[in-house]
Amino acid sequence: MSTTAEHLANGAEAMGEQARAAGEYADDTLRRKAGQLQKFFDDVEELLRRVSDLGDRDISRLRSRLESSIGHVKDAARDSAQAAIDSTRRAAEATDGYVHRNPWTAIGASAAIGVLLGALLSRR
């Protein structure tokens, strides 16, 4: 027969695993969004290559400005996505660490949130 402390330790471990899983889910979502943005940039670059054969000077200038802008946006998007991934990972690791260092507090907070949600849902 397991003790209350073992149940609480198991609950804290489960919370840590959920925090890690949430971080991994966020990483996957951000990577998928970054991939969609990359496809958009690839399509625009292909369009630019196709119109590059046109000899008009204004088109050439516009194409150069657009290529420069695309490069800046790509760099900014890549940096933002990486920052979001790093931030999400740090938050998940911090949550996991906190739950392991303070299982009673985490369990108490979870219980309080559960009671609050139960009270709110029972009103309806």
Q: Give the integer Cα–Cα distance in Å for 44 and 119.
A: 52
Q: Which two three-digit tokens encode residue 35?
A: 């991939």
- Residue-number span of the structural domain to which 36 is assigned: 4-123
- Mind giving me the DSSP string for 30-76? HHHHHHHHHHHHHHHHHHHHHHTT---HHHHHHHHHHHHHHHHHHHH
Whose structure tokens read 């590059």?
52
User: What's the confidence (pLDDT) of residue 13?
Assistant: 64
Q: From first to last of its 124 residues, what are the pLDDT tens digits of the chain?
A: 456 556 555 665 666 666 666 666 666 777 777 777 777 777 777 777 777 666 677 777 777 787 788 788 888 888 888 888 888 888 888 888 888 888 888 788 888 888 898 888 888 6
User: What's the confidence (pLDDT) of residue 1?
Assistant: 46
User: What's the confidence (pLDDT) of residue 17?
Assistant: 66
Indicate the pTM of the whole model: 0.47
What is residue 2's three-state secondary structure? coil
User: What's the confidence (pLDDT) of residue 27?
Assistant: 67
Q: Indicate the number of domains in the chain.
A: 1
